Structure 1
Amino acid sequence: MNHHNETLYRVALKNIPKVGAVIARNLVSYCGSVEAVFRENPRHLLRVPGVGPKLVSSIRQKSNLLKAEEELRFIEKHDIQLHFYLDDCYPERLRHISQAPILMYSKGTFDLNAERIISIVGTRQATNYGKLMCARIIRDLAIYNPVVVSGLAYGIDITAHREAVARNLSTVAVLGNGLGRIYPSQHRSFTKTMTKHGGLLTEFGFETPPDKENFPSRNRIIAGLADVIIVVESAESGGSIITAEFANSYNRDVAAIPGRGNDEMSAGCNKLIKTHKAHLVESGADIARLLSWDDENNKPAATQSALFADLSEEEQLLLELMKDGKEAGLDILSLQSKMSLGELATVLLSLEFKGVVQALPGKRFLRLN
């Protein structure tokens, strides 16, 4: 299959109504490829977990491919990059999260798998204190050269992006709309500068407007992309608190800047700290210490693999597929090995008993070298 067709089917899969990330991964794993999802016998599709007659009908709609063709024309015209969950360019930090999008679109020059990534979130109604603390943290962390992720909104978000650019750091804005528009529009001119120092990222097709329901989805990406999520200022409820909740569920570090007890815009941060859902931080040095960035020996020592002469052909195949040392998910291993999920689980369990593979959260596995 040529690159155009492969991209076409990937975009079409992402755009099928009611097919979320989990079902999409199940479909690809069962059918063997993205294109095969659209060519599979409808009766066979009903065997896929989570797929019923209505969903099969939705998958078979020709409008899926027609809409994808339109999306591709926009992608090619505007030099948009695609990040599919089976590609090397897909963010490793997101790959093991079951609800992470299967496909994202980006514009600019940035590394979604950079060694150090921080996400900064906060209220749109930022106070001078919040803006100063946001700028201070980024200024302090500039020596570590992290990628700074935020959401391009008013207040703390745009402060974080601007300070990152001022410090010559890569910064990424995760959008709640498609790349066919910039929201808020007042930040359009700044995004042209951003694409030289980072860029824009979204899971939404180019025509998607910034509807309210898109922003919680946007927030889960902001939470999953980073090593730490820093809540600078927030009321007791809102998008920043939702992002912190996502981050905690993904086992990410969450940090919050405290404020005065009577400040409405610090109520959310103070509550996160009081309920032990965030670390109290007041400077970039606190973040660096939290993440052990100054500890040259912070990386765990590699575990020595045991060598077995009695590995089966299936076991040897899986070890070969995992030789790059990266975490691998069940769906990817099933696709690459052409084993069913049941067969794959049995072989992986055997490798775990032999001490050469480690099971990780999120149905992911790591070869021990």
Structure 2
Amino acid sequence: MSLYLTVGYPKAELSSCDSESNLKYWLWLQGLKHLSSHKKRELLQAYGSPEKIFQLSPEQMGIAAATLSEGYGRGFDALRQKQLVRSEWMVQECLAQDIGILTWSDYRYRSMVRGYSLAPLLLFYRGTLANPIRPVVNLVADPLEQEQAISQIPRVCSYYRERGYVIATGLTFGCGSRMIEKVIEHADTLMTFCSGGLDRCYPLDSYRVLERIVEKGALVSAHALKVVPSTQRNLERDRLLGNWCDETVVLGRPDSIKASRSIRYAFEVGRGVYKAEDLERIDQNSAVAETSLTIGSAPIGSDDAALGSFLYELLRHVPMTTSDVADSLHIEEGHALRLLMDMELCGSIEGFSDGRWQVRQSASTGM
């Protein structure tokens, strides 16, 4: 049985800056293959709108393609794709399913995000988006640390609510569901970012939670339709959150896997990061920051030898479960387990009954 279930929410309006006819060109531009988000934005700056890019003549397309670092041939081939059938279908599907479309040119697309090279041209949402002038705080926590996080949420939400902040968080189900529900209970205005499409309910038992999020604000995603959440999309979501929010508050331990990634993403763009325990700012040169930057900087696409070396350094800082390792190294759990078992056989790490792995004390002191 599919884990998706179609859901309905209050009607979302089209972007105030873009008509229905114009949205199909935005969807066309976003869907062009072989062109990075950065290059698509360069084209927008040069030609003014997706519709004008779509209407370029073959000669103009050649001039435009010659300026793209992806290469003339790839750029020209991308711009030759003049089909709007799928884009028109997506506009109608979003309207039918009450999914709003937020374009790069919309005033509600926060200006501070536009410096992020991977920022999507479009965001999709259900519910009501907050005034972009209001500051936004991102609440992050490792789901495995939920008891401490849950105890901190009322006080942290109260502090930021009184100061006019929008509360933002990434959508995590399973062992993180209770934290999400606690945030919903204490937030005034809420923005919750998810990593899958907004046309379906994932997982099945989350319907009521999603309804409550929409009642408090908006459910936001870089994906509109028929996209399943994944580890890679979770990472993309967390990085977008780090750029979207003015501040990040870490619930529970700041050296946990999820918190470390979020701290790194916030530091990369110069945002303030605070500990929920005392709302004290985390200094970027502190030991906590050093650990977080180490854990959050895993190599992507490396061979097993490089991944193993990096994993050893991670485990010197903090014990991890197999799932933690997979998330940190951006690999499948089976791959992570093979790495861990090889390292255990070599005597460099050891596993414990709680499912976590860490460097053997003798190996650590002998290094």
User: Given the two structures, how large is their TM-score scaled by the length of structure 2?
Assistant: 0.65
Secondary structure at 2:231 match in 1:
coil
Alpha-carbon separation, structure 2, partners of 1:224 and 1:157: 22
Change (3 A) 1:129 1:167: closer
Deviation for aligned residue 1:111? 0.9
Hey, what does 1:192 align to over in structure 2? 211
Q: 1:113 to 1:277 in 2, by over 3 A?
A: farther
Matched with 1:20 is 36
Indicate yes or no: 2:107 matched with 1:88: yes
Q: Within 5 Å, give how 1:175-214 maps onto structure 2.
A: 175-214=194-233
Q: Equivalent residue for 1:274?
A: 287
Distance 1:183 1:142, change over 3 A: same
In the alignment, the residues of structure 2 paired with residue 176 and residue 272 of structure 1 have an alpha-carbon distance, to the nearest angstrom, of 31
**Are 1:33 and 2:53 an aligned pair?**
no
Which of the numbers 224, 228, 240 marks the counterpart of 2:259? 240
Q: In the alignment, is the contact (CA less than 8 A) between 1:150 and 1:157 conserved in 2?
A: no
User: What are structure 2's unaligned runs of at least 5 residues?
Assistant: 1-17, 293-367
Cα distance in 1 for partners of 2:64, 2:90 equals 26
Paired residues for 1:62-141 under 5 Å: 62-63=82-83, 65-111=84-130, 113-141=132-160
1:55 equivalent in structure 2? 75
Using the alignment, how far apart are the partners of 2:260 and 2:98 within structure 1?
Answer: 34
SS class of match (2:240): helix
After superposition, give the CA deviation of every residue in 1:124-163 in whole Å (9 maximum; x if it has no partner): 2234122212333113333224211111103796455433
Distance 1:247 1:185, change over 3 A: farther
Q: Closer, same or farther in 2 for the Cα pair 1:239/1:181, shift >3 Å? A: farther
**One-letter code of the match for 1:59?**
L
Shift of the 108–204 alpha-carbon distance from structure 1 to 2, 3 Å rule, reads same
Once the two structures are superposed, what CA deviation does each residue of 1:77-133 show, in whole Å capped at 9, x if it has no partner? 122222211221212331333332221111101315142211011112234122212
Deviations 1:280-325 (A, max 9, x none): xxxxxxxxxxxxxxxxxxxxxxxxxxxxxxxxxxxxxxxxxxxxxx
Alpha-carbon spacing, 1:81–1:244, altered in 2? closer, same or farther (3 Å): same
The answer for the alignment partner of 2:327 in structure 1 is none
3-state SS of the aligned residue for 1:247?
Answer: helix
Q: Check 1:155–1:240 CA distance in 2 against 1; reply closer, same or farther (3 A cut).
A: farther
User: Is the contact between residue 157 and residue 187 of structure 2 (CA under 8 Å) also seen in structure 1?
Assistant: no
Report how far residue 193 of structure 1 moved: 1.6
Following superposition, the deviation at residue 179 of structure 1 comes to: 0.7
TM-score normalised by L of structure 1: 0.65
Would you say the 8 A contact 2:140–2:259 is kept in 1?
yes
Aligned with 1:229 (options 219, 235, 248): 248
Confirm or deny: 8 A CA contact 2:152 2:277 kept in the other structure: no
Q: Indicate the SS of the match to 1:254.
A: strand
Structure 1 residues 231, 273: closer, same or farther in 2, change over 3 A? farther
- Distance in 2, matches of 1:112 and 1:51, equals 36
How far 1:70 moved relative to its partner?
A: 2.2
- The equivalent residue for 1:8 is 24
Q: Which residue of 1 aligns with 2:65?
A: 46
Aligned residue runs from structure 1 range 202-351, under 5 A: 202-233=221-252, 236=255, 238-257=257-276, 274-276=287-289
Letter in 2 for 1:4: E
SS at match of 2:145: coil
- 1:126–1:156: 8 Å Cα contact kept in structure 2? no
What letter is aligned with 2:42? Answer: N
Say what the alpha-carbon RMSD is for the aligned residues: 3.1
Cα displacement (A) at 1:248: 0.8
| Aligned match of 1:313 | none
Structure 1 ranges of 4+ moved more than 6 A: 269-272
Q: Which amino acid aligns with 2:36?
A: G
Q: State the one-letter code of the partner of 1:30.
A: A
Deviates more, 1:226-235 or 1:242-251: 226-235
State how 1:124-163 maps to structure 2 within 5 Å.
Answer: 124-154=143-173, 158-159=177-178, 161-163=180-182
* 1:18-58 Cα deviation digits (max 9, x unpaired): 33321111112223321122232231222233242123313
- The number of residue pairs the alignment matches comes to 269
CA gap 1:48/1:154 in 2 versus in 1, 3 angstroms: same
**For 1:160 and 1:217, how far apart are their aligned partners in 2?**
21
1:62 CA drift (Å): 4.4
SS in 2 for 1:46: helix
The structure-2 alpha-carbon separation of the partners of 1:3 and 1:275, relative to structure 1 and needing over 3 Å to count, comes to same
Conservation of the 8 A alpha-carbon contact between 1:178 and 1:204: yes
Structure 1 stretches lacking a partner, 5+ long? 260-268, 280-369
Distance 1:161 1:171, change over 3 A: farther
